[in-house]
A and B are shown apart, each in its own frame.
Chain A
């Protein structure tokens, strides 16, 4: 690194832009995780239902998503859906859709494992005290499963937050896109990428810290 002089003024001038970008990335991750959890829960129940016409399509969906690169999925939905006359999604919504589908497959596996790990006796005990099927799920199975799967869910949130960097490929103004823009406009290579890396790192660490606290609060086994 010969004759490289750091000029952090570039970052200071773009501070509000970078903050907006970071918050947009977080928002994308949280929304996608929420939708992904809904998809994951429904598909996990379909998977354990024992009916082949429900569990096979879910298996296909999960394997398909896990073997497909996320970037390809993002491009396919962004450029491909308008071919089917589905063009009401802007680029942010299109990205949320692809990230949600992606998260849904992973959450489906997480919830399936969670449902499988609930002791049979819990359900039997719930039957014995006369709970209806939906009550058994709502008051016995789901709360326990939520506690068991919480660590996996929080890990997924962190990796989804990192995956929001792919939104830069379709020009959603999140952190990677903004850093690249600053880099292209000012040629301050080190400053822009060091800042982006540090922001991602700090945010991922912060999310992990907060979620560990929540996990401790709701730990399955104390």
Chain B
């Protein structure tokens, strides 16, 4: 017991730097959560535009989705970070990163939404029209309940991608879990130990999200046709 907690041992160093690491973990979780919420809300709206919009709206949304999917996330993050300042918007690195990640994932959510909605048989929409439902009601009561089930697995994947993507924020200087670990390493040179610790933490987060996704999928799979 005593030999574990001597200075220079992994447990001692990890305990010494617990505050920095936990703060980093909190930043990772906060930026992930904010990006996921932003991507889900904006992505659903854009998905509706992409699927049911007027032709010019569909074209704009398609252009946006293809742009976002062709550019690496890191370039988006750096572009947002350096570029926003030019527009007179002075945002912290954290928010620049969240905006870039959210904008990137928005494209994925929108595309998933389109795919899920288009996989609902056309007869459903026609039947809903036939009984005289308005467009919002058709969407809410008929199309979405069926589409959500198909959207869930790719949506959970997007969430995982975002959590992994938050590591890129370390490059613009946001002290999230990866950069916090690197700061600890800069102090005690225990490179292997602390990279492994960070890896385990990411594994736990992502494993939890994957399990949660599985739970949601089972919850929403009540109806098969």
Contacts and interface: CB of A to CB of B under 8 A. Distances in A.
| Interaction A to B | yes
Contacts, number: 103
B199 A176 contact: no
A134 interface: no
B170 interface: yes
Given A1-B87, A190-B86, A69 B202 contact: yes
A141 B171 CA distance: 44
Given A76-B199, A79-B191, A189-B82, A69 B167 contact: yes
B158 to A, nearest CB: 14
B72 A75 contact: no
Interface residues of B, number: 39
Contact of A2 (B88, B165, B166, B191): B88
A67 B207 contact: yes
Mostly, the B contact residues are: helix
A13 B193 CA distance: 44
Contacts of A67: 160, 202-203, 206-207, 210
A80 interface: yes
B75 A76 contact: no
Chain A interface: which size bin? Answer: 35 or more
Contact of B171 (A68, A76, A169): A169
Contact of A197 (B79, B87, B196): B79
B65 to A, nearest CB: 12
A165 B192 contact: no
Contacts of B160: 66-67
Contacts of A109: none
Interface string B61-74: 00000010011111
Interface of B: 67, 70-76, 78-79, 82-83, 85-88, 160, 163-168, 170-171, 178, 182, 185, 191-192, 195-196, 198-199, 202-203, 206-207, 210
